[in-house]
Amino acid sequence: MLLKSIIVILFIAILVSLFSGLRFLVKDLGDSKRRLLNSLGMRVTLAALLIATILYGAATGQIGSQAPWDKRLHPDAAQTIPQRSN
């Protein structure tokens, strides 16, 4: 549960960085190039941390696929549909 919370927090931080960069690009009259570059650097760093966290969670088994179409991860979950006799 802690790992999933960290993933959500990192994703929200990436969105905040994205919109702050947009604000610096559109409305900032000061040194917008420098602040925009810092925002981009922060966003790239956060994205790398997010990918590393997801890979760590998948490697340790703390997060995984729950998709019903992923039968190789859940072979016992495959259900057959009974045929209706006429």
Sequence-ordered list of residues with C-beta below 8 angstroms from that of 14, at least 6 positions apart, any chain: 43, 46, 47, 50
pLDDT in tens, 41-82: 999 999 999 999 999 998 998 888 777 777 665 566 555 556
- Where do the structural domains in the chain lie, given as residue ranges? 2-62
pLDDT in tens, 29-42: 766 678 888 889 99
User: What angle in degrees, to the nearest 10, is found between the helix axes of 2-26 and 32-60?
Assistant: 160
What pLDDT sits at residue 79? Answer: 55
Rounded to 5°, angle at Cα 16 from 52 and 12: 50
pLDDT in tens, 13-24: 999 999 988 888
CB 42 within 8 A of CB 17: yes
